[in-house]
Amino acid sequence: MTAPEPAAHGREPHAAGLGSRLNWLRAGVLGANDGIVSVAGLVVGVAGATVERIPVLTAGVAGLVAGAVSMALGEYVSVSSQRDTELAQLATERRELAETPEDELAELAAIYRAKGLSTATAHTVAMELTAHNAFAAHVEAELKIDPDELTSPLQAAGASALAFTLGALLPLIAILLPPTGWRVPVTVAVVLVALALAGAVSARIGGSAVHRAVLRVVVGGALGLAVTYGIGHLIGGAVG
């Protein structure tokens, strides 16, 4: 008599790699948030100093490009370092399994004993996992690394740059399209709505309170825009 198949749990995220995808989504939201805030502060500050479109456009495009490049380079370096560390750990684990398999078996059993299994059960589990795929068993239990899902530095850099660019385009478009007298109010409104949406998505992903996250980003964004506009207005008046 065969054992019944486990019932599907529609509300439980058991799919492999779900945590990794959520981390990518969270990183994308944060990258877009950075693009919105940094470029919005830049163009609103310049708009406070001058009513000319060209300086605002120039500053906005420069901020977008510089920010996207900076985000991409930072993510590439960070992920490359993480990947190098993970590859070194995987190589060490392969070497240890080849040179001291008995010690590695004992180590794996000890890990499962620490999780609450009895000595006999932990040893049995370690033996069976080792017989099936020793490397995969040790990598999962000891390193918490999936060798098939190592993050690509180039993909991470591209995703970070894209997220920043998409976020930065919102304030840039918002400040260029309206008439002169409406530029700053429209940009502020668009930015605050975008920040509220980004805060809500980030909170949903992280499982935290949505209203608190939205309040934080909206108040912080409003203060930042007010400061940059005020500084731009003061400098523009002093120079003018």
For the segment 161-219, what is each residue's pLDDT rounded down to a tens digit? 999 999 999 999 999 999 988 999 999 999 999 989 988 888 887 777 888 888 988 99
Nearest-angstrom CA–CA distance, 29 and 64: 16
pLDDT at residue 7, rounded to an integer? 46
The answer to which of 103-107, 126-130, 207-211 has the lowest mean pLDDT is 207-211
pLDDT of residue 175: 94
Report residue 2's pLDDT band, with 50, 70 and 90 as the boundaries.
very low
Nearest-angstrom CA–CA distance, 84 and 198? 32
Asked if the model's pLDDT at residue 135 lies above 50, the reply is yes
> Would residue 207 be called left, alpha or beta, if left means φ above 0 and alpha means ψ between -120 and 50 degrees?
left
Q: Is the pLDDT of residue 81 over 60?
A: yes
Q: What residues does each domain of the chain span?
A: 21-239
Q: What is the mean pLDDT of residues 119-128?
A: 92
**Model confidence over 21-54: pLDDT tens digits?**
666 677 778 888 899 999 999 999 999 888 899 9
Dihedral in degrees, nearest 10, Cα atoms 31, 36, 40, 43: 70
Question: Which pair of structure tokens corresponds to residue 154?
Answer: 């180039």
pTM of this structure? 0.76
**Which residue's structure tokens are 């309170």?**
209
SS3 202: helix
Alpha helices in 17-149 (DSSP H): 18-49, 53-99, 101-114, 119-138
Answer yes or no: are the C-beta atoms of 82 and 145 closer than 8 Å.
no
